[in-house]
Structure 1
Amino acid sequence: MGGQEGSESESRTLGALYLNIGLQNGVLLRTVLDSVTGDMSDTRTRYLGSRPVKLFRIIMQGSEAVLAMSSRSWLSYYYQNRFHLTPLSYESLEYAAGFSSEQCPEGIVAISTNTLRILALEKLGAVFNQVSHPLEYTPRKFVIHQESGHLVVIETDHNAYTEDTKRQRKLQMAEELKEAAGEEEAEVAERMAEALLSEDLPDAVFGAPKAGPGMWASLIRIIEPIQGNTLFTMRLDQNEAAFSIALVKFANQSDMDQQFLLVGTVKDYQLSPRQVDCGYIYTYRIVGDCTSLELVHRTEVEDIPTALCPYNGRVLVGVGRLLRIYDLGKKKLLRKCENKHVPNLIVDIKARGQRVFVSDVQESLFVLRYKRHENQLIIFVDDTNQRWVTTSCLLDYDTAAVADKFGNIAVIRLGGDTNDDVDEDPTGNKALWDRGLLNGASQKTEVIANFHVGETVNTLEKATLIPGGSESLVYTTLSGTVGVLVPFTSREDHELFQNLEMHMRSEHPPLCGRDHLSFRSYFFPVKNVIDGDLCEQFNMVDPGKQRSISEDLDKTPNELSKRLEDIRTRYAF
């Protein structure tokens, strides 16, 4: 670990003496210091930022804590029997010291640029920081305009009125009041109608009026995410529901840098049984630095445009169970190619190179090859398992992660002998000898990993959560959980945590007494995934059991705790 020793701080917790060392390269070292011999042991390292680390000792909850400053500020403290190193949700600080007064018994006085600030920390045990910006309807999907960083969000609510419909209903109710009143009550009815039209009750406080099944309200919103300001709003008509969105650059345009926003909507959508009047694909031109939208045209389709994906200067569209390639025309989008062999309903489309990964609502994943010379989309790989897919994420050219509505995450891969140089077979003769399992595609995917999360997974994304960290698979669920699946980089780590998980299953069973292995294998047998939440509970078991487990693994409890902390901090805060 390069760099010079920057500064030191000591803190006493449970009779132990800890030495914190800040380095010039932005790394913080925390080591246990023997108060008799001066020996240093159990050194933990953490990358804090791009600037040299400064350390300041403060008092937090009656015990000593360390405030570490690099390109952002961090607080190292002892809470619930273990050390925490948490980034502060605040702007960059340059110098700090402990501060105490009657109004602020445990505060921090700090310098930021040319201002002196007094801070008080709250929610010390919180591991997640969030800022909420209220929206009018339920947000469904969003895209990020890379040049400006603005978010384009589609919001859709069922059983809801649009603002125009609400005004029309108010006028209608006022007219009905006047008509229902007799001559003697006309003056009273007039005043009631005026009061009805003049009142403005916010839906966030009093609730929105229920429109009934089959009634939809939607809008498109551009948000500046730092301050949460709405820059532009486009409202759709009553009973028009927006379900998909994508930013696309079309190759047939003279300005190749011009971006277009495509929004897929459906008119008069009945949920059960699923019934659709028609669908639309709106094409908007991005104006300026993504501060407004200009409508180019609207293309009518026969089913729900459930998924949109840019593809080699065109756009892939899932129209119900049909997969199509569209190009930009002057009056509407022009259909260029179509595949009709997805069985039920397309819910997600991802593309890389010539391969297209299409997720079906019930039949898992299909991989297609686009043959440009023949202008054909051909399915050459599918999955042998039924998965009710909600979202998918490409990990590399051959591998995809999929999540289903029953709370499972799976990683599936095209085999090493997979050949995507396939031909369409319009006569059906080739299918007699080249068809594979279950009358599906001739080639099948391999299941690399299976894991039951227990909650419906909404999104999957491959991301790096800390500067200089490794990539991990981040997922979010319907209940609000944010989880991370991290890859092992060595067989030694994998075997250690596999053995630790096995010991934790027997030594620390779940509170409700349910078998842990059967839960994680609820729909598919768990495969190649180790339950990190269970391993993290090692720090919570009795010291006697910790020693017993550690001895079986030829480690000490401190070494196991350090390995757990390293695997956690390598990928996330």
Structure 2
Amino acid sequence: MLIEDDSLHLYHLTLTKPTAAIKSILGQFLDNKKSQELVLATSTSIELWQFHSESGKIKQICHQQVIGVIQNIDRIRKGGSNLDLLVITSDSGRLSILEFDKDELKFFPVVQEPHSKNGMNRTTPGEYLCVDPQDRTITIGAIERDKLMYKAQTNNNKLELSSPLESVSKNTLTIQMVSLDTGYENPMLAAIECNYAHYDASLKYDPQSSNLTLQYYEFEQGLNYVARRKDTLEIPSSSTTLVPLPTPIGGVIVAGSSFIFYHNPTIDQQLYLPIPSRAGSSPVPIVCYAVHKLKKNNFFILLHNELGDCFRVLIDYDDDSEKVTELSVGYFDTISPSTSINVFKKGYLFANVTNNDKMLYQIEDLGDNDSYISSSQFSSLEDVFDGNKKHEFKPRGLRNLALVQIIDSSNPCFGGALVKTSESKESRIAMITGHSHLKLKTHGIPISTLVSSPLPMIATSVFTTRLSAESKNDEYMVISSSASSKTLVLAIGEVVEEVQDSSFVTDQPTIGVQQVGLKSLIQIYSNGIRHIRQTETEGKITKKTFDWYPPAGITIISASTNQEQVLIGLSNRELCYFEIDPTDDQLIEYQERIEMSGGQICALALASSFVNKSQRKSPFALVACTDETVQVISLQQHNCLETLTFQALSANCTSAVIISNETSLVAHLGLENGLYVRSTLESITGKFSDTRVKYLGADSVKLSAISLRQSQQVGVLAVSTYPWLCYRSKNKTRITPLMGANIKCGTSFYSEEIGEGIVGASASELTIFTIGEDEDNSEMSIEDELAIEDIRLRYSPTKMILEDQTAFVIESEYGVVSPYQSGEEVDSDYYSAFGYSRKDESWASCVQILDLESKKITFSTELEDNQKPLSLCRMNFGNQKYLMVGTAKDLTFQLNNNPKYKIITFLINGSELELLHYTEVDHPPAAMIPFEGKLLVGMGKYLRLYELGKKQLLRKSSTLVDYLTKIVQITHQGKQRIVVGDGSNSTTFLKYDSSDNIFVSFADDVMKRHITALECLDHDTVIGGDKFGNVFVNRIPFTLSKQADQEWSLVKYQDHYLNSAGNRSKGLCEFFLQDIPTSFFKGTLVTGGKESIFYTGLCGSLGFFEPLISKSEVSFFTALENSIRKVLDPNLEEHDKKRLYCQLLGKDQLKFRGYYNPVKNVIDGDFVEYYFELDPRTKTKIATELDRTPRDIERKIADIRSRVAF
């Protein structure tokens, strides 16, 4: 592979996946008859959530990324099975059916049936998906014309699909499609369709007089034919949703803007009913529904509209006449507007919220006592739409539902930025999301402080211990101070109090405490070892103490213990080893001692957890000396105290720990220079392998093994400048900072009264805390990589600017009336729950200032006169700071709209804004930046410079760039250069010519792109994103850049050609994200990390592009990606299950990442990390092709991620 010297190669990784779920369904995917799981599908991932009856909450048990774009999901059940399969349509052109592997906790495909070519268009089936309630057929439909029906059969416990039966309806658009419950009769479909045959380019479409029809399709099982039934029904133009009813009722409910009606095609029955609407609100369409079967053929039906109101539908059915006698509807409750809702058997409602956090509610009441409107009052749709009959309600607080869980969601995300806070000393990302949130995302785990109290001394070490082997709780907390030469022993119970009869040596600092044998304790202190044996006679506990002393003039400087072994290091460099006699808890010293030749012993470690649970003794010991070395010493009988491995370090080791993972022992080392080293110990030779290094802070690293009983593992607490937690999660080792924990040493403890926690000390203060937050409606576990802090805003944010710990945010909402302009006190909680009052063509807008350190809003000002903020800029005029806001007045989303545009100037006075003046402009000010002490505004095709005036801004320059259409982004490259992003014409490089007082374009892109985000990388290079999900990097040639700086006259007078600039920028990189980029920013999330390019996506994704630093690195990852692409080729028929986990949709990765343009110079890190999920044989095969070992490749992949993020 030829790599050019001036080329740029990026490595892409997604940190958080898109959270905008396109659909949610319920099914039984685990092997449990009473279980019910929730499947959430985003455009590029599948999540499986399990409901826990004990907590009344759902927990994610599976998250799988897919290669491709998911369109729709449903469930189907094999014949004779009690498990459901997941049916997926996607852009791969295949109908995929997945089964869940309960052992691996992953989905894998059992059927991948091709039906169309790769990609999506309006005639490609897959937009609509419905499964017959009796699991006999699967139907997929396109937006226009085509529908395909598959007959599903079970053969040898395998689901098989027949060849598809096609139904073609020319000149027909499908609005909605569902399967009807017909029992054992022929399967039927119902669809809302629109025939556009009589429309042409000259005839304007009128939605009020549209010809929407309710069309039925029937599958003739005997003839194996899909028939389009003739009994069509014209329905109102506002019809949006079809609700199929279960047997024995059957039929379908058609729901639209404030109306429903029932139709049964088998008996031609129709019932009509209006849906109550909010007082003063216009008709609101129904967007989703939930049908839940109760006992004795009863049903719980909920309809949900786009404002979040839920309505319950009651059906009276006469079994004798087999007809529906009455239909009733009533207001149920109001939740956040959702894409889909689901009702669990346990009586819980899940809301897949469209633009906010997802919610889980408990159904406390079915609303039987609420008021209902009956269909007996209406004989036709004309009666329903009668304007004289009003059916209104007022939204109220939750009465029938109770919120029990909030699941964080970051969609839609309108932008982000990197912010540094003094609290965590770690970079965090601020994201503005809808609806009305600013979210701070930090790599870390939050803590809940239980106890914080002063100590009578400066603590340097903390230990906890049980009193006997049978005890489950830690009963003693031992605090040692080397500065005061004291030891404090505390009892852990309902209260923490000092123990007077502990038999510990308290006038010397403690080096180690351990429960050994059955009922004994040992205390290791500077001048010896105290062995405390407890005996119980006639219910009375007596303690006997035995002391071991080192030779005269020699002290103990280091120690490590477990329940069966004790290892101490003496000041004369000797190593003493003890074992515990299992019969009488005696401490037995090994007769030989080993003298370390490298220097003083500074750290020791014995294994505190083992791979084999029956194993009780550590086979190895780590010995670190002050000559910057660490040795592995054998403790086995045939070669006890023999040196097996010798390893040099970059600094002295201050502490060491050995714990086990699933397969081997792992050594953890904390160094003096702030480095944390993790390395695997070979089980026989004790050699170090697979070594990983991470910088934790400026202080030396102190380690301690801690028990994480909730996740059934032993982790490592690493304390440097601030504490970190190392643990295993999802088969990966993670090291994550603990947020808000100010400790210098610590260890874990467990008690029935407090539960699982960590006790730590900093100077003379003791702190007891638990990992994760314990709140009523949200949870944080160690499996979560990002801690999220939420600041509630007034409206939906659109733009944000950060300055240190201050955020300036402009916010707006369309079609609502602001209650804040009246000057009266406003109940923000009420409007947060139910939204603002609706009014057509009305804007509610404001500017807010936030303090990110205190997470509070410090100032808010409303933008009156129906203004919508478009752009935001903070700049200096002289010594004063100003905030500029570009607005549009009376803006609507209709043709022939002529809003008025302004630039509002605010003076920043501390944490407040003072209105200075307005400046009217003749084009929308969509982009503003500071430029050489002036305000540069991009409006339409114009670039204009403004200076501050007393009554308005003063225009100093105006440049018309005639081949642009709408400037949406501007970034300053330095000096007099800028790059402009256009709404449809990509990027243009311009330079300010001070002699002519204009901007001159000298280079632009070879492609037409619809820019959504833009960021400057260097003086010649920009990265941008467009509204189709593409990311690109453009650079102007070096010779052109040099001419623009040094020989400007040669460039200035170049002729433009092809309706664009005289030169073209070079495309360095191309990549498809499947999420619309909304912002780019540079930085790193780790201490001492490498600066990279982060991005946020509209659907809530967060990721980064990391520049590869050498040609060898580029060659390695390119070869690795190609090798993985070969083994995961979707066209290969023979796949083992491990590889099937990675190919759920049957889509080629290269086609996916090159959706619009071929991938160029970008490594897909998400795809490369599939290497971890491959089977050992495939890993070895790929490693052999690359002349590496599998462990080398895994380390390479992990290292490139850890340079920038977690």
| Aligned twin of 2:847 | 220
| Aligned twin of 1:163 | 819
| Aligned twin of 1:33 | 681
Q: Aligned match of 1:229 in 843, 846, 856? A: 856
- The answer to whether residue 1171 in structure 2 is matched with residue 538 in structure 1 is yes
Report the Cα offset of residue 112 of structure 1. 4.5
| Aligned twin of 2:601 | none
Structure with bigger gyration radius: 2
Once residues 38 and 397 of structure 1 are traced to their aligned partners in structure 2, the CA distance between those partners, rounded to angstroms, is 52
Give the 5 Å matches for 1:256-271. 256-271=878-893
Once residues 527 and 463 of structure 1 are traced to their aligned partners in structure 2, the CA distance between those partners, rounded to angstroms, is 23
Give the 5 Å matches for 1:386-405. 386-405=1008-1027
| Aligned twin of 1:68 | 718
Once residues 261 and 207 of structure 1 are traced to their aligned partners in structure 2, the CA distance between those partners, rounded to angstroms, is 29
1:282 counterpart letter in structure 2? I
| Aligned twin of 2:107 | none
> Which deviates more from structure 2 when the two are superposed, residues 41-50 or residues 396-405?
41-50
| Contact 2:722/2:744, CA 8 A, preserved across alignment | no
Return the structure number with greater helix share. 1
> Which deviates more from structure 2 when the two are superposed, residues 520-529 or residues 266-275?
266-275
| Contact 1:165/1:238, CA 8 A, preserved across alignment | no
Once residues 942 and 931 of structure 2 are traced to their aligned partners in structure 1, the CA distance between those partners, rounded to angstroms, is 16
Give the 5 Å matches for 1:18-417. 18-60=666-708, 61-112=711-762, 114-121=765-772, 122-146=780-804, 149-163=805-819, 202-212=830-840, 214-250=841-877, 256-273=878-895, 275-288=897-910, 291-341=911-961, 343-351=964-972, 352-417=974-1039
Q: Aligned match of 1:448 in 1039, 1060, 1068? A: 1068
- The answer to whether residue 1126 in structure 2 is matched with residue 495 in structure 1 is no
Deviations 1:20-58, CA, capped at 9 Å, x for gaps? 111111110011123433322221101111211111101
| Aligned twin of 1:183 | none
Q: Counterpart of 2:792 in 1: which secondary structure?
A: coil
| Aligned twin of 1:570 | 1203
1:304 counterpart letter in structure 2? P
Once residues 492 and 281 of structure 1 are traced to their aligned partners in structure 2, the CA distance between those partners, rounded to angstroms, is 51
Once residues 1064 and 860 of structure 2 are traced to their aligned partners in structure 1, the CA distance between those partners, rounded to angstroms, is 45
- The answer to whether residue 1191 in structure 2 is matched with residue 558 in structure 1 is yes
1:413 counterpart letter in structure 2? R
> Which deviates more from structure 2 when the two are superposed, residues 558-567 or residues 540-549?
540-549
> Which deviates more from structure 2 when the two are superposed, residues 10-19 or residues 453-462?
10-19
1:565 counterpart letter in structure 2? A
Q: Counterpart of 1:567 in 2: which secondary structure?
A: helix
Q: Aligned match of 1:3 in 632, 651, 668? A: 651
Count of residues in Structure 1 that have an aligned counterpart in Structure 2? 529
Once residues 29 and 274 of structure 1 are traced to their aligned partners in structure 2, the CA distance between those partners, rounded to angstroms, is 66
Report the Cα offset of residue 216 of structure 1. 1.1
Report the Cα offset of residue 103 of structure 1. 4.8
Q: Aligned match of 1:529 in 1153, 1156, 1162? A: 1162
Once residues 655 and 1081 of structure 2 are traced to their aligned partners in structure 1, the CA distance between those partners, rounded to angstroms, is 38
Q: Which consecutive aligned stretches of 4+ in structure 1 deviate over 6 angstroms post-superposition?
A: 165-168, 197-201
| Contact 2:820/2:826, CA 8 A, preserved across alignment | no
Once residues 5 and 12 of structure 1 are traced to their aligned partners in structure 2, the CA distance between those partners, rounded to angstroms, is 20
* Inter-CA distance 336–539: structure 2 relative to 1 (3 Å threshold): same
| Contact 1:378/1:422, CA 8 A, preserved across alignment | no
1:229 counterpart letter in structure 2? K
Once residues 151 and 547 of structure 1 are traced to their aligned partners in structure 2, the CA distance between those partners, rounded to angstroms, is 50
| Contact 1:266/1:276, CA 8 A, preserved across alignment | no
2:1075 counterpart letter in structure 1? E
| Aligned twin of 1:178 | none
| Contact 2:1002/2:1051, CA 8 A, preserved across alignment | no
| Contact 2:819/2:826, CA 8 A, preserved across alignment | no
* Higher relative contact order structure (alpha carbons within 8 Å, sequence separation ≥ 6): 2
| Contact 2:756/2:770, CA 8 A, preserved across alignment | no
Once residues 689 and 966 of structure 2 are traced to their aligned partners in structure 1, the CA distance between those partners, rounded to angstroms, is 58
Deviations 1:423-446, CA, capped at 9 Å, x for gaps? 6999xxx77xx334x231111100
* Inter-CA distance 198–465: structure 2 relative to 1 (3 Å threshold): closer
| Contact 1:219/1:234, CA 8 A, preserved across alignment | yes
1:57 counterpart letter in structure 2? A
| Contact 2:818/2:836, CA 8 A, preserved across alignment | no
Report the Cα offset of residue 283 of structure 1. 1.0
Q: Counterpart of 2:1100 in 1: which secondary structure?
A: coil
Report the Cα offset of residue 128 of structure 1. 1.8
Q: Structure 2: 5+ residue runs without aligned partners?
A: 1-648, 773-779, 1130-1142
Q: Counterpart of 1:51 in 2: which secondary structure?
A: coil
Report the Cα offset of residue 167 of structure 1. 8.8
1:160 counterpart letter in structure 2? V
| Contact 1:162/1:237, CA 8 A, preserved across alignment | no
Deviations 1:347-380, CA, capped at 9 Å, x for gaps? 1111121111111000001111101122121111
| Aligned twin of 2:231 | none
Report the Cα offset of residue 235 of structure 1. 0.6
Q: Counterpart of 1:534 in 2: which secondary structure?
A: helix
2:975 counterpart letter in structure 1? G
Report the Cα offset of residue 104 of structure 1. 4.8
* Inter-CA distance 340–275: structure 2 relative to 1 (3 Å threshold): farther
| Contact 1:136/1:155, CA 8 A, preserved across alignment | yes
Relative to the length of structure 1, the TM-score reads 0.88
Once residues 90 and 502 of structure 1 are traced to their aligned partners in structure 2, the CA distance between those partners, rounded to angstroms, is 43
Report the Cα offset of residue 503 of structure 1. 1.6
1:153 counterpart letter in structure 2? V
| Contact 2:771/2:781, CA 8 A, preserved across alignment | no
1:449 counterpart letter in structure 2? C
* Inter-CA distance 165–287: structure 2 relative to 1 (3 Å threshold): closer
| Contact 1:378/1:423, CA 8 A, preserved across alignment | no
* Inter-CA distance 200–567: structure 2 relative to 1 (3 Å threshold): closer
| Contact 1:141/1:244, CA 8 A, preserved across alignment | yes
Q: Structure 1: 5+ residue runs without aligned partners?
A: 169-196, 251-255
Percent same amino acid among aligned pairs?
A: 33
Once residues 335 and 26 of structure 1 are traced to their aligned partners in structure 2, the CA distance between those partners, rounded to angstroms, is 55
2:926 counterpart letter in structure 1? T
- RMSD of aligned C-alpha atoms? 2.2
Once residues 103 and 531 of structure 1 are traced to their aligned partners in structure 2, the CA distance between those partners, rounded to angstroms, is 49
* Inter-CA distance 321–92: structure 2 relative to 1 (3 Å threshold): farther
